[in-house]
């Protein structure tokens, strides 16, 4: 499978625990985006990376959230001291980049569904 | 700030019939992309169709077509010959160049057999 993969697909955790999600983009895609989708809403932007550099963070990304993309390959999104309001689907998308017309197409992974009890 | 509005939370259509999903957006940019994404119950986001703002011709992809009205900032999706597999959430989305995507709240489409 050469698409974007995310792990785990589902995570149930108790309030106050830390969780970490992983996204593996399509090989050689240099941009990687994280979005959060709550029930009944469209996805909302959280942050994105160009290779290993984190270039933009949304106001939605509180201090409890941290994202990394070491070596510009896979990315991790960590949530510390989870709250019930963090329950959502966390989506990852990767982008090939470059000057071609289709270079900015975002390819989405299946998401990680987080439930905080 | 750019916004995307989908005014129809849910819609239903008889199988084999045609349905149109509405979307309006707000931007001060002149160069941007518009999209319709489909999210089936399995929840993986799939690109349905894309429209570049500089292109006057409406995009089509098989049974899917758009009506892009740039001056009115309107971008509707028409699904012809609806099939049971078309049942999903449909999101209208906007992107400026290589920037992040801004999504609408979605329209849940039901296909009636």
pLDDT single digits (tens) B44-55:
889 999 999 988
Which among B4, B44, B101 is the nearest to A106, CB-wise?
A: B101
Lowest mean pLDDT among B15-24, B25-34, B93-102: B93-102
pLDDT: which is higher, A96 or A55 = A55
Contact check, Cβ <8 Å, B100/A109? no
Which among B31, B49, B96, B101 is the top mutation candidate for probing chain A, defined by the most A β-carbons within 10 Å of its own β-carbon? Answer: B101
pLDDT level of residue B6 (50, 70, 90 thresholds): very high
Which residue in chain B is spatially nearest to A41 when comparing CA positions?
A: B105
Q: How far is A55 from chain B (nearest CA, A)?
A: 11
Q: Is the pLDDT of residue B72 over 80?
A: yes
Adjacent-strand bridge partners of B56 = none
Digit-coded pLDDT (tens) for B24-42: 999 998 889 999 999 998 7
Which among A40, A43, A111 is the nearest to B103, CB-wise?
A: A43
pLDDT: which is higher, A28 or B77 = B77
Residues from chain B that touch A43, judged by Cβ atoms under 8 A, are 45, 91, 101, 103
Adjacent-strand bridge partners of A20 = A78
Average pLDDT of span B65-79: 97
Q: Is the pLDDT of residue A116 over 80?
A: yes
- Give the up-direction half-sphere exposure of residue B113: CA atoms within 13 A in the CB hemisphere: 2
Q: How far is B20 from chain A (nearest CA, A)?
A: 19
Copy the structure tokens of residue A52: 């290993």
Which among A39, A43, A54 is the top mutation candidate for probing chain B, defined by the most B β-carbons within 10 Å of its own β-carbon? Answer: A43
Average pLDDT of span A20-40: 93
Contact check, Cβ <8 Å, B103/A42? yes
pLDDT level of residue B63 (50, 70, 90 thresholds): very high
Digit-coded pLDDT (tens) for A80-107: 999 999 999 999 999 887 665 555 678 9
């Amino acid at each position: 499978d050469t698409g974007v993969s995310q792990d785990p697909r589902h995570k149930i955790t108790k309030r106050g625990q830390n969780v970490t999600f992983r996204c593996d983009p399509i090989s050689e895609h240099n941009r990687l985006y994280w979005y959060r989708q709550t029930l009944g809403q469209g996805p909302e932007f959280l942050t994105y990376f160009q290779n290993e550099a984190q270039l933009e963070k949304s106001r939605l990304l509180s201090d409890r959230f941290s994202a990394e993309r070491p070596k510009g390959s896979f990315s991790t999104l960590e949530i510390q001291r989870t709250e019930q309001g963090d329950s959502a689907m966390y989506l990852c998308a990767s982008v090939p980049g470059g000057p071609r017309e289709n270079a900015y197409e975002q390819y989405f992974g299946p998401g990680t569904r987080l439930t905080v009890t | 700030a750019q916004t995307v509005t989908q005014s129809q939370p849910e819609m239903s259509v008889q199988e084999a019939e045609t349905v149109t999903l509405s979307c309006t957006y707000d931007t001060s940019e002149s160069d941007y992309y518009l999209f319709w994404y489909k999210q089936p119950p399995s929840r993986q986001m799939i690109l349905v169709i894309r429209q570049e703002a500089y292109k006057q011709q409406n995009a089509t992809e098989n049974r899917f077509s758009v009506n892009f009205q740039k001056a009115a900032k309107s971008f509707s999706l028409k699904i012809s010959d609806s099939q049971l597999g078309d049942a999903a959430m449909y999101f209208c989305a906007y992107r400026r160049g290589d920037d992040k995507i801004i999504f609408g709240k979605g329209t849940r489409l039901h296909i009636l057999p």
